Amino acid sequence: MTRNLATQLEQRLPSERLELIRAAGELARELGAGLYLVGGVVRDLLLGRATFDLDLVVEGDAPRLANLLAERREGQVVIHRRFGTAKLRCQDLSIDLATARAETYAHPGALPTVSPGSINDDLLRRDFTINAMAIHLDPDNFGKLVDPFGGEKDLEHKLIRILHEKSFVDDATRMLRAIRYEQRFDFQLETTAEQLLRRDLSMLHTVSGDRVRHELELILKEEQPEKPLQRAGELGLLQEIHPSLKGDGWLKEKFPQARSVTYPPPLGLYFSLLVYHLSQKEGEDFIARLRIPGVTARAIRDSLRLKENLPPLTSPDLSPSATYRLLQDYSPTSILACAIASDSSLLHQRLHLYLNKLRYIKTSLNGKALQQLGIPPGPRLGEILRSLHEARLDKKVKTREEEVELVRLWLSQGA
Ligand code: ATP
Ligand code: MG
Q: How many CA atoms lie within 13 A of 118 on its CB side?
A: 3
Decide: 129 in ligand 1 pocket, CB within 6 A.
Answer: no
Q: Which of 44, 131, 183, 223 gets mutated to test ligand 1 (max ligand atoms within 8 A of its CB)?
A: 131
Per-residue pLDDT reduced to its tens digit, 341-358: 999 999 999 999 999 999
User: What pTM, to 2 d.p., does this model score?
Assistant: 0.93
Could you report the per-residue pLDDT of 28-49, keeping only the tens digit for each?
999 999 999 999 999 999 999 9
End-to-end CA, the chain: 92
Q: What is the pLDDT of residue 415?
A: 65
**Percentage of the chain with pLDDT > 70?**
100
Q: How far is the CA of 315 from the centre of ligand 2 (A)?
A: 49
Distance 406 CA to ligand 1 centre (A): 64
Contact indicator for 272, 337 with CB cutoff of 8 Å: yes
Q: Is the CB–ligand 1 distance for residue 363 below 6 Å?
A: no
Q: Is the CB of 53 under 6 A from ligand 1?
A: yes
- Nearest CA residue ID for atom 5, ligand 1: 40
CA of 258 to the centre of ligand 2 (A): 25
Q: Which of 49, 127, 171, 215 to mutate to test the pocket of ligand 1 (most atoms within 8 A of CB)?
A: 127
Ligand 1 mean position, distance from CA 6 (Å): 23
Please give the distance, rounded to the nearest whole angstrom, from the Cα atom of residue 370 to the centre of ligand 1. Answer: 60
Q: Is the CB of 174 under 6 A from ligand 1?
A: yes
So what's the pLDDT on residue 25?
97
Q: CA 255: distance to chain centroid?
A: 14
β partners of residue 116: 101
Contacts of 160 (CB under 8 A, 6+ apart): 128, 130, 154, 178, 181, 182, 187, 188, 189, 190, 193
Q: Mean pLDDT over residues 243-268, rounded?
A: 95
Ligand 1 midpoint to CA 97 (Å): 14
